[in-house]
Amino acid sequence: MLRNFGGTAANRIRNAGAQEWLLALAAMAVLLTAVFWISSLVRGPVLARQAPPEVPKAGLSPAVGTLEPRSGTVKLAENGGKALYLDTASLNVKVTDTVTGAEWNSIHDRGGEQEKSPVVIRFLGKDGVMRQWDAYTYAIQNGRYTLHRIEDGVRIVFDLMETESYRLNEYMPEKISEQRYRERFLDRLDELVAEGNLAAAQAQRYKESLELSYQHDPDNGLYFLKFAGLPPLSLVKDLIALSKAVGYTTDMLIEDSQQFGIQVSILEPVRFAVTMEVTLDDGDLVVRVPTYEMKTDNADYTIQNIAVLPSFGLVPADTADDGYIFVPDGAGALFRLNSFNPKYPEYERPIYDNTYYSTLYEMPAFPEPLTMPVFGMYYTDPTGASQGFMGIIEKGAELAHLKVQLGAKDTSAGGTPFNKVFSSFDSMQYSRVKVFGPYSSNDARYLSTTGLIPVDYTVRYKLFGDRVTYFEMARTYRQYLMDTFGLEASYDADPKLFLDVLGTVTLEKRFLGVPYNVRFSMTKYAQLRRMLEEMQQWQNVRLIVNYMGALNGGLNNTVATKAELTKAGGSRKEWETLLDFFSGGRHTLFLSADLMKVAETGGGFRPRTHALRGYDGKPLKIWPYNRASGQFENLAVQPGQRPIRHVGDRALLGPSAVFERSGGPVYPPFRSVSELVSQRPGLHVLRQLQTGRHRGPGRRPRDRGAKFAKTGRTQNDCAG
């Protein structure tokens, strides 16, 4: 029977016509599509998608009254030896020390618009153009703000609005014929002078502005704007004033532009409402900007960055006899006041390397990221009086930037006459993604953003009314951390030796030319035990060991569905012998674990489904810089699909702690193309993991004492 069936099938195949072959191929295509489609729906057993947790929002403080704009200076609060005042006209926030008489102001009347602004915003349009507004120009000088009394402070709502456009293309043509150039501008100016409606000197200035801006093209019989970019603002204002003086209307502009096929775009005015709360808390000035309270009437624009009190504690160069600015760069960096260097006009860096994903394919400009959300300034004036402040970013530091501007008494070589240090934060992050890949020579790009990020950005200013040093600032910050998080000071005079130990790595071998991977331990458990025993002979030395590559396949790790020791490190008995060395509590063992990186697929991990997606919408691969060395790539795991079943097994890990080695920010800009995840929910996931409140879809953690730590990224150890 089988022989007859096989023969019949063979005859059918030999005698099959074109139609039957097409039907067979179509059936095969449907079958293959069904197989791949069904498999794409099947996810790993522990990598089920979770919704990101809601980030708590503090909301606005209850209002207890209102303040009339331009009604004088009002005392808002007094506590902790400090008093808080608000000038309702300039919106200067002033704090005075009731003992020493020292004062701190948020604006400076002798400066320009930015020195008079409590906030400065940058906003990004859908046209890809970044614009900047200061609160003084676009709100304060026009009285566009409201004031509400709150407990021990005030809430200020800035109503920033463009009262007049300075976009030259909305007033003057890019190209205009010779005839209309003479008729609309030159002849009309002469007529106004003859009529006595315009001074001759002013008309001459307008003509000079035209000559500076327009180039004559006699071959084509036209004039065109000669600037590739925007002309200087003073020239733009002169040309706009010219267009109004001669009555050059929008209809004329459109008519003259259409003659050369140029379309005129008149942008809709944009308006933003930004809320800032200022309070005095036990002598500390606390400033809060909730981004979820920001409003706009034009969806084409989004606020991207807000500088908070950029002139607070500003020190004019002519009043600073001595002093410095402090930033947490490395072990702490100090900038001497009035030391402006035109080669390095400004210092600006993100805290926690929070621009990591937009600069992923760029060589870092600094060897290590900023890892403390603090900054400060101290100075002594010519009379010998001293004072200073230290800013502590309490919330939103993962979006913050620090900026330093050093002053100069002689500004002829550049610089400003002011010394400043302040923070800003990103309310939206973005990247201009290369269409053909990050290393393509084709520079075609498109704009990709995270959208608005909800955050209660909060800065606490510690104020020092007398002489203060770098040591006092460090001690004040330590005390703040102890009071805020319930910590206790721990003094240990014994010297500590910190060891980074390399465990299991992955090597590529070949059999008959076919490559395959093997695990190889650079430092086995028994070897590490012998090394530590030799070091233990050193008197009073405490050993702090970070054992890298001991879990989940080693340095080239698999997805962390469990904390599993690598077999290449040795036997279970050798591991337990190593743990005995740390059982007394004098020495400490950390096991390095990459929770956000995957070097090898498997264990239910599929890059297309589970990998973090970058600004370009593709699975995010993090390559070491030297690819020729054979170093591995990593795929970043989405925080919403946190794969941990348990972070520790008491029988397995003993007294050790889990040390998270993921180097970049642990929050991504995207988890998928259609679903954006901002930094705030991603960071909230990590905090829940640290406290054991977020367990993912797997089993409950068995080691309630397992700890997490986080380090910075080195050049050859990038993380998602």
What range does the domain containing 218 cover? 168-258
Residue 696: inside a domain: no
Which pLDDT tens digit goes with each residue over 53-101? 777 889 999 999 999 999 999 999 999 999 999 999 999 999 999 999 9
276 in the same domain as 240: no
Domain with residue 416: its CATH number is 2.70.98
For 608, phi then psi, to 5°, come to -65, -30
DSSP secondary structure string, 309-363? STTTT-EEGGG-SEEEEEE-STT-EEEETT--BTTB--EEEEBTTTTTTTTTTS-
Contact 154, 95 (CB under 8 A): no
pLDDT of residue 111: 87
The encoded tokens of residue 22 equal: 């097409």
pLDDT of residue 2: 44
Domain stops at, among 462, 482, 502: 482
CA 131 to chain CA mean position, Å? 18
197 in the same domain as 149: no
510 in the same domain as 456: no
CA 387, 281, 335, 313: dihedral to nearest 10 degrees? -60
179 in the same domain as 142: no
Contact 304, 430 (CB under 8 A): yes
pLDDT of residue 361: 76
Residue 52: inside a domain: no
Using the CB atoms, write b or e for 139-170: b if 16+ within 10 Å.
bbeeebbebbbbebbbbbbbbbbbeeeeebbe
CA–CA dist 325, 375 (Å, integer) = 8
332 in the same domain as 353: yes
284 in the same domain as 254: no
Residue 704: inside a domain: no
Domain count, the chain: 3
Pick out the chain residues at pLDDT < 70. Answer: 1-18, 21, 34-50, 228-230, 600-603, 623-720
Residue 527: inside a domain: yes
The candidate with the shortest Cα–Cα distance to 146, out of 227, 86, 216, is 86
The share of the chain scoring above pLDDT 90, in percent, equals 49
669 in the same domain as 594: yes
pLDDT of residue 710: 30
CA–CA dist 525, 530 (Å, integer) = 9
671 in the same domain as 549: yes
277 in the same domain as 239: no
Residue 36: inside a domain: no
Residue 697: inside a domain: no
464 in the same domain as 353: yes
Strand arrangement, sheet containing 542-548: 496-502, 542-548, 588-593, 657-660
For 48, phi then psi, to 5°, come to -70, 140
Q: Is pTM, for the whole model, over 0.85?
A: no
Q: What's the 3-state SS for 58-85?
A: CCCCCEEEEECCCCCEEEEEEECCEEEE
CA–CA dist 477, 389 (Å, integer) = 12
Domain with residue 651: its CATH number is 3.20.20.80
Residue 159: inside a domain: yes
Residue 48: inside a domain: no
Report the SS3 class of residue 267: coil
181 in the same domain as 161: no
601 in the same domain as 632: yes
pLDDT of residue 11: 61
Average pLDDT score, the chain? 81
Helix orientation angle between 200-213 and 233-245, rounded to the nearest 10 degrees: 120
